[in-house]
Structure 1
Amino acid sequence: MKPLLTSTLALALSLGAPALAQTPPTRDPAQIQAGRYAVDPGHTQVGWRVSHMGLSNYAGGFSEVSGSLELQPKDPAAAKLSVKIPVASVTTTSAKLTDELKGDQWLDAGKFPEMTFVSTKVAPAGKDRAKVTGDLTLHGVTRPVTLDVALVGAGANPLNQKYTVGFEATGTLKRSEFGVKTYVPLIGDELHLIIAGAFERQD
């Protein structure tokens, strides 16, 4: 390697090191910064899974999530969560099926453009876990849903230095109870949700 190239590479690495150095994320809820957080849409994913004719489990997802989270680590039960998901952001591995899911036989994104979740109760379920119950609105129907939530980690993002907290949540709902009944029971009624949520502190 030429001396000039070697020195340039070494300089680049030395300049980049401080930006990437950070205190490891914490999984201790007591160490998380209190305040108001906003969804980081680029790092938040909402996945779903249904039984496909009892032969396989078929998965898809939503994106472009927005919302807010209020955290008080000293009083976990006081946390508040509000999330909006554009229904038209639904995706699958089949372009044809993705278009069908947006149509009026399924999610009807034109008539019901948003799915929302607003928490009504947060019950701690261990040091870094909680059961979050809220009102889920889908396809024009609002029903209570409980999510099992686990803390993934919290700390400064080494790339943008924004203080971020991440959670993983799982839950199950019956789509027929929200008026989405197409092909039940051939296509499973139970919709399993898997949510990877990232939130950036705002104040």
Structure 2
Amino acid sequence: MGKPRMPRRSLLAGLGAALLAPQALLAALLPYHLIPEATEVRFTFLLSGQPQHGRVPVSAARIRIDPQNLARSQADITLDARRARTGLIFATDALKSPGVLDAARFPQIRFRSTRVRLGPDGRLSGGAEITGNLTLRGTTRPITLQAALYRRPGTAPDDLHELDVHLSGQLSRAAFGATGYTDLVADRIALAVRARIRRSS
């Protein structure tokens, strides 16, 4: 005796639900935009053994956060290498030169997240990490940053309208072909990002 056939209406309903499921999942990702005046991308390098600091402005950002499943959150950030600055004029010129950022040929630095690992408490703080692909000088390499996401002080636990983001990590400039001035500048570059994001309407 054969198996009973599923009614056509039930079959169509099931297929429709399956097709709509991915869209429902994507809908849970809430869009956010950066608040420029409260956002800073800083880097630290050793020049003749002494720490020096610089900044690179953000030119574009696409951020999506899923409050119900933070591990699904996404970030796509583009920096303007042509406007990178240090505290020293000659160091800024060297930074943007062909031997380092080569900003004339590669004006954009881009980070696209690929994985978010939550901290031991299941939140984006206290040991959380964000891994992604960093493209610098036309070369793309994976990088992992320490990550933290906070509500604004004094806001309610469910108030996610504005959030503060902290990211930190290191990279090897040689891994991206930025090998100029190795006699003066160390290979390891420290990164620190402080950003404020606001829910897009």
TM-score of Structure 1 vs Structure 2, range by shorter chain: 0.7 to 0.9
Aligned-partner residue type, residue 132 of structure 1: I
Give the C-alpha shift of residue 75 in structure 1: 0.3
2:75 is matched with 81
Pairing partner for 1:119 from 106, 113, 118? 113
Give the C-alpha shift of residue 48 in structure 1: 0.4
Task: Name the structure, 1 or 2, with higher relative contact order (CA <8 Å, separation 6+).
Answer: 1
2:140 is matched with 142
Give the C-alpha shift of residue 65 in structure 1: 3.8
Pairing partner for 1:169 from 153, 167, 170? 167
2:180 aligned counterpart, secondary structure: coil
Pairing partner for 1:104 from 67, 77, 98? 98
1:52 is matched with 47
Structure 1 length-normalised TM: 0.75
2:92 aligned counterpart, secondary structure: helix
Q: Distance in 2 between matches of 1:76 and 1:152?
A: 12
Using the aligned pairs only, state the percent identity.
28
Q: Distance in 1 between matches of 2:56 and 2:183?
A: 23
Question: How large is the Cα RMSD of the aligned pairs?
Answer: 2.2
Structure 2 length-normalised TM: 0.75
2:62 is matched with 68
1:14 is matched with none
Give the C-alpha shift of residue 185 in structure 1: 5.6
Q: Distance in 2 between matches of 1:154 and 1:194?
A: 19
**1:49–1:192: 8 Å Cα contact kept in structure 2?**
yes
**2:99–2:181: 8 Å Cα contact kept in structure 1?**
no
The number of residue pairs the alignment matches comes to 166
1:176 aligned counterpart, secondary structure: helix
Aligned-partner residue type, residue 85 of structure 2: T
Q: Distance in 2 between matches of 1:154 and 1:181?
A: 40
Give the unaligned 5+ runs of structure 2: 1-27
Cα 1:39–1:97 shift into 2, 3 Å = same
1:132 aligns with 2:130: yes
Q: Distance in 2 between matches of 1:41 and 1:163?
A: 16
Pairing partner for 2:38 from 31, 38, 43? 43
**1:131–1:146: 8 Å Cα contact kept in structure 2?**
yes
1:189 aligns with 2:183: no
Give the C-alpha shift of residue 34 in structure 1: 6.3
Q: Which moved more, 1:111-120 or 1:98-107?
A: 98-107
| CA offsets 1:67-117 (integer angstroms, 9 cap, x no match) | 011111210110010000000121111123212322212211110000000
Q: Distance in 2 between matches of 1:46 and 1:187?
A: 20
Cα 1:79–1:185 shift into 2, 3 Å = farther
